[in-house]
Homo-oligomer: A and B are copies of this chain.
């Protein structure tokens, strides 16, 4: 692999990856297990809502024609025939001069057409019967929620491709979706490369660092909604590497490696792509960090060769791998939402390439502000912990100032957008 690679502009790189997007198959899950999964079917109203004429209040159901002309001076007396709570039905249609004591949510009895709230009714007992006295006229349909007034049967309420949140779940339950068709999670394999890497539980050794990228990437895969499989660390030995990568490819939908894509003597990934006869989509992107990000396709599967540098690895995942995972999940808006925001802090670094700056979002008087995190060296290490946006600073400038309008990708937002 030559030292000189031609850097691809970010949008072109994203598009070339998205040419290989796929949608996963559906699988049927019990309702209780489908939080945060993505619907592979529309939610259709399987009955009208409400399914019957319903009382919005506790009160008395009666015939509005029986209340004509009632006033403070002329009250009407209604015989209370029965009491119905939500979930119960009146035993028979209502007749002239009768009222049914009715609770919120209960079905309006046949031939009743309005509900007088408790607050305007006086009750009393007489002749061994319950009675209700009313001093005002009621209108037809007053305090009656009409059957189907909120939703007609067969209406599409939520479309396939929507993530299941508590509100979606309420709808699924309402319409009897005890089993739900959701898209399968894509299986995303992760390898770390680098002889310098120690396992997390190993003591530090001279010249070595602990493997943090693999844990970070697995966590990013889960946050995106994928199923992560960590295959461990690749040794810096070509044959073992090649063997491990080939075997892993059989078990995954997408394969991520971290490290080994630079031009150092021990960067093995380029040779592995070559031996696999994988099609390298690009091996250099016109951006910082993550310029060495490499993506290849092998028999329709994508191999993401992310940088070994933690920030570059993080950014490479969110730009290129994230929208692929969300495409597998059938999400109609697979990209991170990109918004305009105000830069809250100077960013004076001159910027020959497009830069994705780790940032944190805040709100101020109705405006969105983004602040770079980890600007000073001492904050670099912990900056990814506080990152919830990537601030996109186009190249070719001498730096940016507090108050400048910039674009930012929202990493924790559930809304997304359709194209990069």
Contact = CB atoms under 8 A, between A and B. Distances in A.
B106 A381 contact: no
A167 B387 contact: yes
A31 B196 contact: no
B366 A405 contact: yes
Nearest to A376: B150
Nearest to A208: B87
Interface stretch (A10-18, A42-50, A61-69, A131-139): A42-50
Residue with the greatest number of chain B CB neighbours at <10 A, chosen from A58, A168, A170, A209: A170
B342 A366 contact: yes
Interface string A386-412: 111000000000000000010000001
- Count of chain copies: 2
Given A208-B87, A212-B174, A236-B85, A166 B103 contact: no
A66 to B, nearest CB: 23
Given A377-B149, A381-B150, A169 B207 contact: no
Nearest to A308: B105
Contacts of A405: 366
Residue with the greatest number of chain B CB neighbours at <10 A, chosen from A310, A337, A385, A412: A385
Interface string A189-233: 000001111011111101111111111111110110000001000
11 contacts: A3-B119, A35-B223, A87-B194, A88-B207, A103-B266, A105-B196, A173-B211, A173-B214, A340-B363, A340-B366, A361-B415
Interface of A: 3, 31-32, 35, 45, 47, 49-52, 58, 83, 85-89, 101, 103-107, 118-119, 149-151, 155, 157-158, 162, 164-178, 194-197, 199-204, 206-220, 222-223, 230, 236, 262-266, 308, 310, 314, 337, 339-342, 361-368, 377-378, 380-388, 405, 412-415
